Amino acid sequence: MTVRDILQIGHPVLRGQARPLTVADVGAARTQRLIDDLVDTMRAADGAGLAATQVGEAVQVCVAEVRPGNPRYPYKPVIPLTVLINPVVEPLTAETFANYEGCLSVPGLRGIVERAVEVRVRALDREGVPIDRVVRGLSAGTFQHETDHLRGRLFVDLVADTRSLCTWDEFRLRHEAAFTARALALVARFGS
């Protein structure tokens, strides 16, 4: 198990464009180790996802997974471990959800980001097999958040009303109950 340091907001790698991988790169031992490290690091931090840029690798690789009972995201539906290489996420609707987001690279801070409730995700998996799926509901926000990292964007860049920014403790005290109710309604509607 290799748990890497997660870069924090202010580090220049988080603001750069990650480069796509070639098909040959996907099968390379270096890429496969990176994927394993991303999974280990994400799980150790109780994250819902992690992008390569967050561990200092400027390549288009990210992982997403929500296990039952995740203490950081008790309201999120389960997402099986998903590896995305060279991902493209395309909104399929103009409908959005006001998602109270946090980020392992922006510790202790949360804020509201409008996320499309239905997206098409295209990428390669860790074996280089094409993925083409529709993701709906709260899970769609997770995939949008992780792929934003690969384009140098953090959730704080997308917060329209900065008055929604709050610490983790203030979120739990003042906003979590109402947000959880809205999130669970979205999960019930889409099943994800």
**Catalytic residue numbers, as ranges:** 146
Asked if 180 contacts 74 with a C-beta cutoff of 8 angstroms, the reply is yes
For residue 135, give the nearest of 93, 103, 101, 86 by alpha carbon. Answer: 93
Task: Calculate ∠ Cα 71-91-7, nearest 5°.
Answer: 45
Give per-residue burial for 174-186: e unless 16+ CB within 10 Å, then b: eebeebeeebeeb
Amino acid (one-letter) located at 131: I
